[in-house]
Amino acid sequence: MLVVRCVCREWGIGTIWNWWLRFSNVLTFILTVSMLTSDCCTGHTLEVHKTSLTASVGDSVRFSSSYSVSSPFYNWPSIEWSFGYQTILYYSIDNGSLNSNGRVIWSTGSTAISPLYEGRLEFHPVNASLTLKDLKHCDEGTYQITFLSFENIIKKKISLKVHATPGSYCGTESETEMLLAASDTLKADRLQNPEKEAAQCSTITFWVLISVLVVSTFLCFCILCKCILPSGKKAFAPKTLLKQGLWQVQRSHT
């Protein structure tokens, strides 16, 4: 007599299913946290005090902002100010001190300014505010401050309206080309900073976890198939026993 048995005890259907549910819940939680941290929910904050400003040609205008850094953090963040598609200032923090609210008390770092804005920009590292002096009519537009960190990237925009006066022209064709070239140089320097590249880790982590989820699903399916399907060609498993995760097939040869 040949007895073929396949008893799913410790790794029964119920046990495997419970294990899979727990594993799926953990993966779902990790994926949710990963997607949230890829936006702006890691604790770091960036604020602009006014979203629109108005000034006249020749005046100075200050783009007031503030930010806080949540501890612990992987590395000090960087600040970028841009006008349109051109980077006009980039500040990378090397070291500093925070108060109990995560506000910067003092900081040291390196600052890169577009050549066409030399002498016209004043940056305040403590709160990331920017002062633009000797306004021209072509300075009118949308300015963006970007908070770059290992954990996330936060962006805020401020629109500036400049009242023109007779003869307030700026931006010849050659100057525009110089501005674009200077912006490309600043962007190249910016990409060499680990903060910007590290900020993409959340996206990579997301796809890695998706791959793990797919592979684990396939493995669980294979385990279930081995536990449910009989080894004999003519053997079959009663439905009542299948529901319980336990079946037994007996076959005899005389």
Share of the chain above pLDDT 70, in %: 53
- At 120-150, the pLDDT tens digits run 999 999 999 999 999 999 999 999 999 998 8
Cα 14 to Cα 83: distance, rounded to the nearest angstrom: 60
| pLDDT value, residue 97 | 87
Beta bridge pairs of residue 196: none
Residue labelled with tokens 């890691």 = 42
| pLDDT value, residue 6 | 47
Residue 251 or residue 210, greater confidence: 210
Cα 32 to Cα 25: distance, rounded to the nearest angstrom: 11
The CATH code of the domain at 45-199 is 2.60.40.10
- 6 in helix, strand or coil? strand
Residue 15 or residue 242, greater confidence: 15
Res 81 pLDDT > 70 = yes
Q: What is the mean pLDDT of residues 62-80?
A: 88
Residue 231 or residue 22, greater confidence: 22
pTM of the model: 0.54
- At 153-164, the pLDDT tens digits run 999 999 999 998
Res 209 pLDDT > 50 = yes
Average pLDDT, the chain: 73
Rounded alpha-carbon distances, angstroms, from residue 168 to 59, 139, 223, 234, 241? 12, 11, 76, 93, 88
Domain boundaries, the chain: 2-34+203-251, 45-199
- pLDDT confidence tier of residue 210, bands split at 50, 70 and 90: confident
CA dihedral 117, 123, 129, 130 (to 10 degrees): -20
Res 107 pLDDT > 50 = yes
